[in-house]
Chain A
């Protein structure tokens, strides 16, 4: 096979270009390596033993991977005395306009140490929902289960329970693991709105506090 001089020159130029590119890239990468400038040797150590000390601080960290529950807006059907909703998709017949929610709050330990977790709310049933005691009265309850197996030995409460308002709240998990895949909890919510509730925006905040 005959190769023309033109082709030959093109291949050579390409080869040189590739070589240059590789060289520049290598030099660039080498330049990013921090090299501690070595002091000239002027003697020898009187003691051959060196002691290096380093203190590793731990990092505790948690996050709500799912941080909101929103049943949107709605009202209580006038033919019923209350509307009941939860985060497992239930909406009672008395609920009009609200959206079904199937996603509970998800709390995750994204630090590098196990933590214990307490939960509290910022508003009581009466200030959050309001209304009178008819139809079961205003109720806001929660339960806790593991989201990933082996995340927490014994999360509580498994049954729907009234939220605690005092700081730091109710201990819901004495040992929330930090191993990826075994480090998250589900916080389910249940709410009861009596028909006597006044209209307006209703919101509440849950605070999960992790301690180490």
Chain B
């Protein structure tokens, strides 16, 4: 009975605690459907679903107040829980060329009890494009991160917000080192760019860059691009930076102090300098009391930090600074470093070691049925063979030899 009461009490605590964590979300049509190319008197209706929070206030927001005249929000049950809402956009006869944003959103209605309360709101953007007469190219520029001995694309994404098609567009890209010294100039391929009136997709113009041609070292580099189209050039240029990476993982930080005679969490913050994710990274730490301890394997994302963690029992050690040789293994390579760690006195940390991943059985209905079936088979086997065998001699005894 006490066990039940405890479970009930624990459940109540979970329910009370979780009531303070409220999420608010919106399900929305794909972004390409939320782009409207202006046409006089166009009417378009979008469906959204507000989710998660028990009370959500729906709203329309736009930085341009005149746009409120063109939006009608239909919410059947304002300030209630998850529900569907619709937004109808009714465009006017004319709209000055440009880009306009309308947001349809929901804000949670929470009753926080603190000095400072925080509420979350979520909104989905509907973009209206009113095209310029003629040709109006706009572009963004970006470069892939590149392996030091590989090659990568530098790309201009071009959109034409004018009403007329661009017959040929290409980019000219200048590459610089961190000190601003120019390394080379690249020219992309040339392509036509349709008006947004007829396509919603951008045109990509590529140029390939190979660091090895210029004997470049790993590091961060800059590039600047200009767009040329139909005998004209856009006055503004777009800048970007990219990284040349090498297959290397380094140790950025580690647990520098552990408590003596305790199980300590030992963490290694590692950073990848590689242009792709690296799988199955692990470390071996040579300890003075327990030999080599290994961390679990981990996947490290491109140029990102991750944390390798293991547990070190510090029994039998002295209160001093130890040198721990650490070796990180990844993709057929390894990085070695000796780390200094203080073994000090203190309150033993409360550590919950990960459970052993050995053989274990989870008791659910399927498991029970399987166990029952095995039992049933064993019972049947018992009667088929063991009982049968034990019965056989008795049967033989009953056979009398024929009288001669």
Q: Which residues of A are at the interface with B, using a C-beta cutoff of 8 A? A: 3, 11, 14-15, 18-19, 21-22, 25-26, 55-65, 67-72, 105, 107, 110-111, 115, 149-150, 167-168, 187, 189, 191, 202-212
Contact present for A210 and B123 (CB under 8 Å): yes
CB-nearest residue of chain A to B105: A209
Contact present for A206 and B22 (CB under 8 Å): no
Q: Taking the complex as formed, is B163 at the interface, i.e. its CB lies under 8 A from any CB of chain A? A: no
Which residues of the other chain, B, contact A150 by a CB distance below 8 angstroms? 301, 304-305
Which of B177-185, B254-262, B352-360, B373-381 participates in binding chain A?
B373-381
Which residues of the other chain, A, contact B113 by a CB distance below 8 angstroms? 68, 70
Q: Given A61-B52, A68-B118: A149 and B304 within 8 A (CB)?
A: yes
CA distance A204 to B117 in the complex (A): 6
CA distance A149 to B306 in the complex (A): 8
Contact present for B373 and A22 (CB under 8 Å): yes
Distance (whole angstroms) from the CB of B301 to the closest CB of chain A? 7
Q: Taking the complex as formed, is B201 at the interface, i.e. its CB lies under 8 A from any CB of chain A? A: no
Contact present for B31 and A212 (CB under 8 Å): yes
Q: Taking the complex as formed, is B5 at the interface, i.e. its CB lies under 8 A from any CB of chain A? A: no
Which residues of the other chain, A, contact B376 by a CB distance below 8 angstroms? 15, 18-19, 22
Which residues of the other chain, A, contact B66 by a CB distance below 8 angstroms? none
CA distance A212 to B28 in the complex (A): 9
Instruction: Give B279-301 as 1s and 0s: 1 = Cβ < 8 Å from A's Cβ atoms.
Output: 00000000000000000000001
CA distance A59 to B110 in the complex (A): 21
Q: Taking the complex as formed, is B40 at the interface, i.e. its CB lies under 8 A from any CB of chain A? A: no
CA distance A107 to B23 in the complex (A): 10
Which residues of the other chain, A, contact B27 by a CB distance below 8 angstroms? 57-59
Distance (whole angstroms) from the CB of B340 to the closest CB of chain A? 23
19 contacts between A and B (CB under 8 A): A15-B380, A18-B372, A22-B369, A57-B30, A59-B28, A59-B51, A61-B52, A63-B120, A64-B21, A64-B22, A67-B112, A107-B118, A107-B120, A149-B304, A202-B115, A204-B115, A204-B117, A205-B116, A207-B121
Q: Which of B23, B29, B110, B369 contacts A110 (CB under 8 A)?
A: B23
CA distance A69 to B118 in the complex (A): 9
Contact present for B61 and A62 (CB under 8 Å): no
Q: Taking the complex as formed, is B225 at the interface, i.e. its CB lies under 8 A from any CB of chain A? A: no
CA distance A100 to B74 in the complex (A): 45
Which residues of the other chain, B, contact A191 by a CB distance below 8 angstroms? 115
Q: Taking the complex as formed, is B162 at the interface, i.e. its CB lies under 8 A from any CB of chain A? A: no
Q: Given A61-B52, A149-B305: A67 and B119 within 8 A (CB)?
A: yes
CB-nearest residue of chain B to A21: B372
Which residues of the other chain, A, contact B245 by a CB distance below 8 angstroms? none
Instruction: Give B23-64 as 1s and 0s: 1 = Cβ < 8 Å from A's Cβ atoms.
Output: 111111111000000000000000001011000000001000
CA distance A202 to B117 in the complex (A): 11
Contact present for B25 and A59 (CB under 8 Å): yes
* From A72, A202, A206, residue with most partner B Cβ within 10 Å: A206
Contact present for A60 and B25 (CB under 8 Å): yes
The 4 closest A-B pairs by CB, nearest first: A61-B25, A68-B114, A63-B23, A70-B114
Contact present for A64 and B115 (CB under 8 Å): no
Distance (whole angstroms) from the CB of B60 to the closest CB of chain A? 12
Q: Taking the complex as formed, is B362 at the interface, i.e. its CB lies under 8 A from any CB of chain A? A: no
Which residues of the other chain, B, contact A15 by a CB distance below 8 angstroms? 375-376, 379-380
Contact present for A69 and B380 (CB under 8 Å): no
CA distance A105 to B21 in the complex (A): 11
CA distance A67 to B112 in the complex (A): 7
Which residues of the other chain, B, contact A59 by a CB distance below 8 angstroms? 25-28, 51
CA distance A191 to B22 in the complex (A): 25
Q: Given A21-B372, A61-B24: A208 and B116 within 8 A (CB)?
A: no
CA distance A187 to B117 in the complex (A): 12
Q: Taking the complex as formed, is B107 at the interface, i.e. its CB lies under 8 A from any CB of chain A? A: yes
Q: Given A65-B21, A212-B31: A204 and B116 within 8 A (CB)?
A: yes
Q: Taking the complex as formed, is B215 at the interface, i.e. its CB lies under 8 A from any CB of chain A? A: no
